Amino acid sequence: MIVQKVNVFIRIIEMTVGGVDMPELDSVMLSRLLTAMTLGFHIIFATLGVGVPLLISGAEWIGIRRKDEHYRLLARRWTRGFVVTVAVGVVTGTCIGLQLSLLWPSFMEVAGQVIGLPLFLETFAFFFEAIFLGIYLYTWDRFKNPYYHWLISVPVVIGSTASAFFISTVNAFMNAPTGFELKNGEIVDIQPLVAMFNPATPTKASHVISTAYMTAAFVLAAITAFLILRKGKSEYYKKALHFTMLTGFVFAIATAIIGDFSGKYLAEYQPEKLAAAEWHFETEKGADLIVGGVLNEDGEVEHELRIPNALSILAHADPNSEVIGLEEFPEDETAPLFIHYLFDVMVGIGMFLVFLSGLYLLFVKWRKGNPYWRPLLWTIVASGPLAILAIEAGWIFSEVGRQPWVLWHMMKTSEGATTSEHVGQMFILFAALYILLGTICTTVLLKMFRKNPAETEFEQMKKR
């Protein structure tokens, strides 16, 4: 039994890294790797940057309304950590913004003509957020009416969410390029708004935003749970845990619902992406959903878990509907099959987060339940990193799942990349940068909160 499991595991690793032909490290592949690295690093900070302001604003509002100093202190302390992550988010966002032109000049030349509008709007939203964040940070005690300070957080929330929305429309456009015609290689009939509100936009943008809120909530919940385990449950931490877990639950449910719509979007507009993710090879009615498993030498699925008719439900909300299989597409126009695991990781963690936060809330409501039960708290500690892992898996799934296209059915990734010979060196340069930023950011955050624990700060606040 164990031997068999080990074999399955080895097979998975082979399929992910070595089983498929190892691609050559040309400038296209290196450009992809460098973009992936920048995005993979940036997305952690960007997600927190979109989600955390909502929690800060919520905590401050509750604090003012209930005249509860705990909540106001929560908002202050979260803000302080948040600023450090924002700084990394801003600089890595600048990196990806410029790298789009540096690494994908031909893609940007074409795409810029059609999708330039939301890119431009994104910087406006970012501008708006930056200005009000600057004001918010330095005006805690400046107004007599505390609601004025809270009001300043509103444009920060709007700005960060709007910038997530705009940038998601650009990515949606890459999956569903609309709003223009190609005639003899010329781009004509351009409609910027149609390009921006393409068929992929509703599910893509709402998914990005709701997962950002959800992830921020679980990351903050994880930190709180860890502190409770270390220092015991004070009133302050209890409130923090309840607030974050409740927010996490709401957005985990929202994410699950939006995720279902995303499945239906894929089935209708990008069936080959769904088919590759689900290892659905032949078109059939009443298709099963395959969870896990490996592909054997003959390309058959083994060791999988099958949920009868679930794929048909996911694709068309009808257990007997027909789902298009991978066989209907030319082989060189479909994504590598390892994205199946990324899909499973993303969905699996999403489900787990719904369950975990639901269980916590049940323990709070149910008299005999103990929401501070240590195994539960430790699981909450794990939920933060897991949520981020799901974000990473989701993005890699989305990007690799679109391959070989950079603009779906319009432009291949290899046609968009730079021809420069120095991408390899730049990869090393940026890898060093991200390692440096990641390490120092973590140390600075740890130092900040160790030097100035919540308990002492609360005492100081009361004295004031």
Partner 1 sequence: MEIQLLGITVLWIFLYGYLIVASIDFGAGFFAYYGRITKKDHIINNIISRYLSPVWEVTNVFFVFFFVGLVGFFPSTAYYYGTALLVPGSIGLVLLAIRGSFYAFGNYGAKDSNLYMFLYGATGLLIPASLSTALTISEGGFMVEEGGTVVFLVKELFTSFYSWSVVFLAIVSVLYISSMFLTFYASKAKDLPALELLRKYALFWSPPTILASFLVFMSLKNHNPEHFQNMLDYSYLFMLSLFCFLTAVWLVYRKVRYGTAFLFVMLQFFFAFFGYGVSHLPYILYPYITLDTGFTNETMGIALVIAFIAGLFLLIPSLYLIMKMFLFDAKYVQGDRVK
- Segment 189-228, which members bind partner 1 (CB under 8 A)? 190-193
DSSP state at residue 94 = H
**Exposed, middle or buried: residue 77 (CB in 10 Å: 0-12, 13-18, 19+)?**
buried
3-state secondary structure of 281: coil
- Smallest Cα–Cα separation from 254: which of 297, 210, 204, 223? 210
What is the x/- site pattern for partner 1, positions 96-115, by CB under 8 A? -xxxxxxxxxx-xxx-xxx-
Rounded to whole angstroms, the Cα distance separating 399 from 2 reads 34
Q: In whole angstroms, how close is the CB of 244 to partner 1 at the nearest point?
A: 22
The verdict on 60 binding partner 1 (CB under 8 A) reads: no
Among 36, 256, 382, 433, binds partner 1 (CB under 8 A): 433
The residue within the footprint of partner 1, chosen from 447, 453, 455, 460 (CB under 8 A), is 447
- Separation CA 37–CA 43 (nearest Å): 10
- Give one DSSP letter per residue of 224-293, joined into a string: HHHHHHHH---HHHHHHHHHHHHHHHHHHHHHHHHHHHHHHHHHHH-HHHHHHHHT--S-EESPPEEEEE
Under rule CB under 8 A, which residues in 139-168 are in contact with partner 1? 139-142, 155
Selected binder of partner 1 within 419, 452, 456, 460 (CB under 8 A): 419
Tokens representing 158 are 């709007």
Cα–Cα distance for residue pair 342/390, rounded to 1 Å: 8
Minimum separation from the CB atom of position 188 to partner 1 (A): 8
Using rule CB under 8 A, residue 7 touches partner 1? no
Nearer to partner 1, 389 or 426 (CB): 426
Q: Taking CB under 8 A as the criterion, which residues in 79-98 touch partner 1?
A: 80, 83-84, 86-88, 90-95, 97-98
Is 439 a residue that touches partner 1 (CB under 8 A)? Answer: no
Handedness of CA 89, 90, 94, 100 (dihedral sign): positive
Q: Cβ closer to partner 1: 307 or 440?
A: 440
448 binds partner 1 (CB under 8 A): yes
- Coil vs helix vs strand at 318: coil
Minimum gap (Å) between residue 320 Cβ and partner 1: 45
Residue 16 contacts partner 1 per CB under 8 A: no
Contact 220, 52 (CB under 8 A): yes
- Site residues for partner 1, 377-406, by CB under 8 A, read none
Interface residue with partner 1, options 33, 187, 256, 389 (CB under 8 A): 187
The DSSP output letter for 283 is -
Restricted to residues 262-301, the positions that interact with partner 1 (CB under 8 A) are none
133 sits near partner 1 (criterion: CB under 8 A): yes
